[in-house]
């Protein structure tokens, strides 16, 4: 007795048909990943079909639900509609139940690859929108910082004094070695470069003027701010980002603490307090580096120091110290903002730390340029 030959499976097909004012999607054949390519005929509309016709559907795997789900989610919703599209009738019960579960969950924004815009104007518009969103977040965070500072001035902000003094130590004493090294080398470089040019005119002594004015007005405060951006700003972002990933910030909020007062305010106050002191220390260290070069080119240290005191007055010194306060605020806000807005994974914490350093250094340079323009206009 001979056995019957197996009936070959029909190839998968999807046919769009018109039915009155609506459309029908006829699905037939065997839909399998290892099977033939799906043949789609007819013109697909922008809206979901009126109904499905699956009488000739023999078997299927994940290919068919993925095909229908992609078609439903790519359909243009009606004006003002934000809900998931309704699932038309005509599908097998098991397939319909699976699709209803899938449509009940909104699609994530990053699930699909971004489609590049061919138009330059469109790309410019998207860039402007992203910058507007970032500026809005920055202004909102700065406003919260000012509110927190106001609560602190009224004695209503709560944070642990022990944490504050630990942050002061991290921002101040522990930053002295790297600030000393960089400032001393900057003073050396300025003195070397200045001596090469001034020696042509027999004015080596004015190396003291060059190094002193450059350090107290620009280089001391700017280099200190850049060091603190890469050191302290990154530490703020990493610490707060880790706390957010571990849901510690949510725990503080649950226990009745204001996370902004408890975490951001002490870091902001500590950096604002330490930046002027570190700037003064960097200025003196840079001048000493220039004095060392002056000693080797034949300028006595006493004469070098006297010339420095003649060139550097209180007005020049106060400009750098004043800028350091604003630089400290910018570094603290950039670091804490990226940490508080970090994602809940280790990769997101690393990205937030990188952004904190980049934004802090950029903010320092922009602020310094603005101060330079203001001082020029005021002839200071």
- Looking at the predicted structure, is the pLDDT value of residue 89 above 60? yes
- DSSP strands (E only) in 276-344: none
> By mean pLDDT, which of 14-23, 107-116, 168-177, 346-355 is the weakest?
107-116
Give Cα separations from 245 to 7, 137, 240, 349 (angstroms): 56, 20, 9, 8
pLDDT at 178: 94
For 16, list phi and psi in degrees, rounded to 5: -90, 130
Mean pLDDT over 110-123 rounds to 65
Going by C-beta distance under 8 Å and a sequence separation of 6 or more, which residues neighbour residue 136?
none
Residue that has been written with the tokens 């060091």 in this structure: 227
- pLDDT above 60 (res 83): no
pLDDT at 92: 82
pLDDT at 86: 64
Q: Is the dihedral of CA 29, 31, 36, 38 positive or negative?
A: positive
- Compare 342 and 3 and report the one with higher pLDDT: 342
Considering 7-11, 100-104, 180-184, the range whose residues carry the highest mean pLDDT is 180-184
The neighbouring-strand residues paired with 51 are 24
Residue 264, helix vs strand vs coil: helix
Q: What pLDDT shows up at residue 85?
A: 57
Listed in sequence order, the residues at least 6 apart from 95 whose beta carbon sits closer than 8 Å to its beta carbon are 60, 64, 65, 68
How far is the C-alpha of 49 from the C-alpha of 71, rounded, in Å?
9
- pLDDT, average across residues 117-141: 81
pLDDT at 317 over 90: no
- 347 versus 357: which is more confidently predicted? 357
The predicted model gives 346-365 an average pLDDT of 91
Average pLDDT, the chain: 84
pLDDT-derived band at 17, boundaries 50, 70, 90: confident
Q: Where are the alpha helices (DSSP H) in 14-119?
A: 63-74, 93-104
How far apart are alpha carbons 374 and 363 in whole angstroms?
16
Which residue is associated with the tokens 């061919």?
118
DSSP 8-state assignment for residue 53: E
Range in 53-57, 86-90, 283-287, 301-305 the model is least confident about:
86-90
**Residues 339/240, Cβ–Cβ less than 8 Å:** yes
3-state DSSP call for residue 172?
coil
Lowest mean pLDDT among 52-66, 115-129, 201-215, 251-265: 115-129
pLDDT digits (tens, 9 = 90+) for 225-267: 999 999 999 999 999 999 888 888 888 888 888 888 888 899 9
Answer yes or no: is pLDDT of 176 > 70: yes
Q: What pLDDT does 32 receive?
A: 84
Dihedrals phi, psi of 146, to nearest 5 degrees: -65, -40
Query: What is the pLDDT at residue 49?
Result: 82
The pLDDT value given to residue 289: 93
**Entry pTM:** 0.68
| Res 65: pLDDT | 83
């Amino acid at each position: 007795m001979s056995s019957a030959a197996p009936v070959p499976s029909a190839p998968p097909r999807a046919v769009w048909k018109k039915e009155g004012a609506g459309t029908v999607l006829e699905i037939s054949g065997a839909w399998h990943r290892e099977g033939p390519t799906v043949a789609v005929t007819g013109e697909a509309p922008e809206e979901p079909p009126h109904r499905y016709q699956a009488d000739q559907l023999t078997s299927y795997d994940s290919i068919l639900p993925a095909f229908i789900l992609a078609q439903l989610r790519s359909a243009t919703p009606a004006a003002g509609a934000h809900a998931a599209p309704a699932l038309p009738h005509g599908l097998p019960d098991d397939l319909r139940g699976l699709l209803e579960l899938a449509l009940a969950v909104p699609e994530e924004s990053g699930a699909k690859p971004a489609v590049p815009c061919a138009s330059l104007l469109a790309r410019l518009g998207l860039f402007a929108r992203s910058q507007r969103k970032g500026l809005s977040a920055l202004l909102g965070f700065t406003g919260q910082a000012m509110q927190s500072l106001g609560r602190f001035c009224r004695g209503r902000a709560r944070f642990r004094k022990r944490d504050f003094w630990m942050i002061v130590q991290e921002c101040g004493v522990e930053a002295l070695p790297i600030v000393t090294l960089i400032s001393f080398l900057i003073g050396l470089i300025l003195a070397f470069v200045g001596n090469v040019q001034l020696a042509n005119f027999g004015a080596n002594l004015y190396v003291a003027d060059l190094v002193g004015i450059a350090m107290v007005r620009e280089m001391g405060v700017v280099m200190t701010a850049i060091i603190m951006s890469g050191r302290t700003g990154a530490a703020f972002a990493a610490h707060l980002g880790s706390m957010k990933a571990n849901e510690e910030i949510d725990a503080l909020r649950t226990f009745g603490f204001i996370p902004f007062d408890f975490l951001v305010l002490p870091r902001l106050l500590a950096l604002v307090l330490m930046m002027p002191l570190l700037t003064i220390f960097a200025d003196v260290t840079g001048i000493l580096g220039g004095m060392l070069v002056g000693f080797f080119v034949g300028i006595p240290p006493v004469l070098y120091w006297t010339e420095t005191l003649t060139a550097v007055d209180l007005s020049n010194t106060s400009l750098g110290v004043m800028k350091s306060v604003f630089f400290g605020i910018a570094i603290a806000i950039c670091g804490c903002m990226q940490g508080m807005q970090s994602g809940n994974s280790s990769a997101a914490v690393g990205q937030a730390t990188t952004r904190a350093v980049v934004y802090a250094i950029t903010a320092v340079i922009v602020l310094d340029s603005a101060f330079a323009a203001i001082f020029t206009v005021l002839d200071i």
